[in-house]
Structures are given as structure tokens and as C-alpha cells.
Amino acid sequence: MDIAFLGSWLGSVPTAAIPLLLASVGLILSERAGVVSLGVEGYLAMGAMAAAAVTLESGSLVLGIAAGVAAGALLALGFGIAVVLLRAEQILAGLATMAIGLGAAGLLGRDYVHRTFEGVTNVDLGSLAQVPLLGQLLFAQDPLAYLAILLTLGGWWLIARSHFGLRLRAVGEDPATADVAGVNVQLHQLFAVTCCGALGGLGGAYLSAVASNVWVENMVAGRGWIALALVIFARWDPLRAILGAFLFGAVEALLPRLQASGFDAPVYLMGMLPYALTIVVLVAASCSRARRNAEPAALGQSYIRQDRR
Amino acid sequence: MIALPYTFALQRRLTLSGRRGVGTFVGGLAAGILLGLALLVWAGVPTESLLDDLFVQVFISPQGLAQTLTLTVPLILVGLSSAVAMRVKFWNIGIEGQLWLGAIGATAVSLYGVGPEALRLPLMLLASALFGAAWIALPLVLRLRLQVSELVVTLLLSNIAYLLLQHLLFGAWRDPANSFPMSMQIGGDERLALLGFGNLHSGLFIALAVTLLVAMLSERSRLGFHAAAIGANPQVARAAGIPVGLTLAIMVLLSGALSGLAGGLIITGSEYRLTQNIGWNMTFSGIVIAFVARFKPLWILPTAFALAGLYNAGSTLKVFYGLSDAVVVLLQGLILMSLLVAQFFAHYRIDMKKEPR
């Protein structure tokens, strides 16, 4: 393995990592407000389909990506109304949302399958990309990747440093207390859930409009679930989610590269690596005491003011 | 905030009346189905052919009924699998993975000629159940020993199981005579007997017998009683001296075995070979069936039958109106969501008061 190989491998990591990162940050927002959004796989699918369909129809990538974000947010808003206002059971409603998202993406996008389009291209910063090892990773990515990092930092600031974040976290830890203090629990949860959908939609749009320039059914391939595990690994902290997403992106990006360089390994067994790694990381993260302290105390419970003690 | 002239207060109903429970359930189901029908019409299915495509062709016409009953067999088993696990509040969302492993197990027994030929078929089914149970053992152990949530682990193991299936089908098990990745056909005496009604096979009786067994187990046995107690409240169950870990382990392994058996019945009953196309969407279907059947084993039979009709109609929709399998998933999602939301009206009432100013 030489420097050039490492450099180009590292350069391809963000493409695999960004969808996971966006979905994880969305999930962190939602779970910090006490709502488990198991439908994130569906948000990704809707985002990927809508971005491809609208780009193909309008010819505008910006519109396409905006449509991806909107599609994810809309699906999440429906989920939010079900679990936050109508107090549906979160896990089952999340699974139903996932099915609705995957199914609707397949149905609405049936005319756009396998149609390639001109996707987002990488920025050109001239010779900066020639810097050995890290040049491609840092200076030759697409604009959305940089935006995703900014969004993650923004999400961290929102949760950890803003007044709004304080209220959001209070809702996730102890909704009754937050309610007494005058925080509108339902509004904060709805906002967080919808943001989760918007970020998931953007992650999906990234999959179709940046990573592959085409939409096919099942292209999400369990990334939503990897993101769910990443959230536990990241202890509900967006900054640690960057680390986690890039770790996974590195594994995912390594596989095609190893094959291209003539490394003979069973394709399908190698394909298991990201999933197996997720389980290992989840186990390691679940065992640590820090995780138990970081988990929002009221995660997954619906709150009714009249039940307050 | 907007000042409303009224204040709303959500009140939890203290008692859940049976009639209200049934009413909201039926209402939710009806709303979900109507929503689904509207969606089909919107997607281009002519209104006048809905009754024919979704009902007559799949439940009344002999050909369609036979096909629907054939599809019912694995659906009964995955529904039971989901219900058994949910009874102890274990989220088994890796049913597809256990089903694939079961199919792999049954095929392995056939390919490697395990055991005497006379016992081959029962051995294949036994292997499928064991493989399915083995595939759920890891999330079970992680949950019991390390409190790792089974939600993500069971699901990701499905992805791994599918890659294993592909590894075998594109490698060692590939039938060289076939251009598609599939294993060799199993022998004639390794197949379940056909009942002379379309492709319907004796796996139907196996599914019915298993349903009765599970019903006895969960409604009449000590194990079922313990499981119900754990499902209601694990802390209280533990305090009452119920062996929580053991009961959970038995129920969860049973869940995996049932999913695995579903795979075994698909191989020995209808496909006769391992392919990439079996078992899709079974996880979610299992959950929907279990939920609609209210986790009652006997209710799973009609529910699985109804859902099999939907799957059967799905292939018609695919051929005639170009709707992909996704539409079946979407309809199931809408029905489940509608039922979940409808429960709101059973559990809560809204009090409205004029705001004193």
C-alpha cells in the first residue's frame, strides 16, 4: 500500500460517510428530544427518490436536492403527528413509517429507476488536492459534503450551546419537568422529528445525486439502521458522530478499492464487514457506562401532561 | 403562540371498554384499507377492477385461491414468529434473516445428503428451524448478557444473512446448468406432497399444526403465562420469581425457529431450490400480521390469509399496471400506521374547556 492508494482511499471516504453522518445527526436531534425515529431508512429512501425524480424532471440539481429534503421532512412530519400528538407507539409507528417511505419511494419513483443524470461534481481547488495523503480528503470533495459538516457543527451548537437546545434536551430527559418550566413539549418534539426527516432526506439525496447519479430501489441498503447504531456509538453527540460516520465510510470505501487493486476476496463475505462492524461497535458502545448516562432518560416514551407526577 | 378560545386537555381513559377497543380497531383497519384503495386508484388501477383484482381473483377464483393459500403458509409462520417475540417485548425485526438461514439449512441438508433418505424431508425442516433459531441466538445473548438493544442487531443480521445467501448462490451452491444464481433442485422425495389444488402443498397442515401448538403454549401453558407476565411488566415478573431470562430465551429462540421453518417450507413446498427471491418483506409482514391479529395465534390464520391475498394481488398489479412490489409494502405500512393512530381514540379522550379570561 502506497501513499497514492491511501490518499485516494481517504478521498473516497466522505462519499460513503456523508449519508450516514446526516442521518445520524438527524437521529441525534430526534432522540435528544425523546423520540426514537426508526423510520430513518424511509426518510433516506424518500430523499434519494425525490432528488433523482425532480432532478430528472426539472434539470435542476438544486431543486432536486431541495425536493429530497422536503420529502424526508414531510414523511417525518407525518410520523411526528402520529407519535407526538396522537401518542402512537414509537417503535411500531417508526417501522410503519419505514415501510411507507420505502413503499412510496418505489411507487412514486417507478418511472425514474435506473435513469442516470448529471450529479453534483467535486469542487476544484487546484493544486491543494495534490497535497499528499490528505489532499483529496480535504480539498476535492463535493459542496454537499462540506455543507454536511457545517450542518453537523450547527446541529452540535444547537443542541449543546443554544437555549433552544437546552429546552430540547430537557424534553428528552424529563418532559414533565420541562412542561412545568413552560416548555412546549410537543412543539419541540415535532420540530426535532421533522429536522430528523429533513436531514435524512438530504442524506438520501446525497446517495442518489452525489454518490451514484442514479436512483434504484433498495439503494439505501440498511444505512438508516447503521445510523441508528452510530447514534449510540456517538453517545448522542453530533461531533462524535463525525468520527463514527467516517470510520464506517472508510470501511465501505475500502471494499471496492481492494477489489480494483486485485485483492482476491469473496465479494459477498467482504460486503458483510460494515454490518458486522456495526454490531461490534454497538456492543462495545452499549457496554460502556458513559452510554447509559448519555442516553436521554425519556427516550421512546410518550408524554401526557395528565400523567405527570 | 396563537391564543385559542378553548383549552384542550388530553385525558387517559381509566378503563378500556371492549366495545370501544373493537370499534377503534375496526375503524383504524377500515381507514387504512380505504386509504390504500384510494392510493391504488390514484396510481392508475381502474376503480371498477378493484373488486375483481383484489378480491375475486385472489380469494374466490380456484386458481387464485390456491395461490393465496400457498402464500399463506410462510406468512402464518412469520406472523407467529413476530407474535411470540413481541409477547416478551423482544423486537425481532430480523425475520427475513432467520427465514433465509432456515432456507439455507434446509437446502444444505438436501445438497450434502444428510441422514437416511427416508428421513430427509423431516431433517430438512428440522434443520431450517434450528438454523433460524441459531440466527437469533446472537441478538438474544447480547440482549440478555450485555443489554444491547436487539432492534438494530436483528435487522443488521438480516443484511448479513442475505449476503451469505448470495455468497452461496454465486459460489459453491450454484447450479452450473442454470444461468440464474440458484441452487440445484431438491429431489422428488425431499418435497412436501402437493394437495392437488394448484401449487398448494402439505406445508399448510404443518403451519396449522404449529399454530395450534403455539396457541396452546402461549394461552394454556406455564411458559405462556410467564411470557405474558414479562410482556406486561418485566420488573414485576422478576419480583414475583418468574424466570425472566429463561422464558425470554425460550420464546425468542422459538421465534427464530418459526421464521426458519417458514424458509424451510418455502424450499420444500413451493420453490424446490434456493433462490435470491424468497422471503422479501417478510419481517414487516410478520409484524403487521402479529399486530392486526392482536398477538393471538389463532387470529394469525385469517390475518395471514388476508395478507397473502394482498401479496397475490400485488403480482397482478405488477403485471397489469406496472406497480412494483413496493406498493404492497406501502399498503401494509399505511394499514399498520392507521391502526396505531386509531388506538389514540381508544386510550384517550379530549376535554375541551372555555378559557377563563
User: Which CATH number is A242's domain given?
Assistant: 1.10.3470
Q: What are phi and psi of B197, to 5 degrees?
A: -130, 90
Per-residue burial over A160-193, b if 16 or more Cβ lie within 10 Å, else e, is eeeeebebbbbbbbbbeebbeeebebbebbbbbb
pLDDT over 80 (residue B17)? no
Per-residue burial over B110-119, b if 16 or more Cβ lie within 10 Å, else e, is bbeeeeeeee
pLDDT over 60 (residue B356)? no
pLDDT in tens, B30-49: 999 999 999 999 988 898 88
Which three three-digit cell numbers place residue B356? 377563563
Which chain A residues are closer than 8 Å to B11 by Cβ?
306
**How far is the alpha carbon of A139 from chain B, nearest alpha carbon, in Å?**
34
CB pairs under 8 A between A and B: 150
- Choice among A113-122, A224-233, B140-149, B293-302 with the minimum mean pLDDT: A113-122
Domain span at A19 = 3-118+133-307
Mutate to test the interface with A, among B13, B135, B152 (most CBs of A within 10 A): B152
- Choice among A47-61, B216-230, B342-356 with the minimum mean pLDDT: B342-356
Nearest CB among A88, A283, A306 relative to B341 is that of A88
Give the pLDDT of residue B1: 47
Which chain A residues are closer than 8 Å to B329 by Cβ?
99, 102-103, 106
pLDDT over 70 (residue A237)? yes
Q: How far is CA B48 from CA B35, B54, B316, B320, B327, in A?
A: 17, 11, 15, 14, 19
Tell me if A279 and B334 make a contact (CB, 8 A cut-off).
no
Give the pLDDT of residue B5: 60
pLDDT over 80 (residue B355)? no
Residues 113-142 of B with CB under 8 A from A: 138, 142
pLDDT over 70 (residue A1)? no
Nearest CB among A82, A268, A286 relative to B167 is that of A268
pLDDT over 60 (residue B2)? no
The residue with cell 425524480 is A53
Q: Let me know if residue A124 belongs to a domain.
A: no
Average pLDDT over residues B233-250: 94
Q: Which residues touch B276 (CB under 8 Å, ≥6 apart)?
A: B165, B166, B169, B181, B182
Average pLDDT over residues A297-301: 88
C-alpha R_g of chain B: 22
Give the confidence band of B4 by pLDDT, cuts at 50, 70, 90.
low
| Domains of chain B listed by start with CATH number | 44-322 (1.10.3470)
pLDDT over 80 (residue B129)? yes
Alpha-carbon torsion angle A289, A290, A291, A294, nearest 10:
130
The residue with cell 447504531 is A229
Instruction: Write down the mean pLDDT value for chain A.
Output: 91
Which chain A residues are closer than 8 Å to B340 by Cβ?
82, 88-89, 92-93, 96
**What is the domain count for chain A?**
1
The residue with cell 448470495 is B166
Q: Let me know if residue A128 belongs to a domain.
A: no
Residue scoring higher pLDDT (B260 or A285): B260
pLDDT over 60 (residue B62)? yes
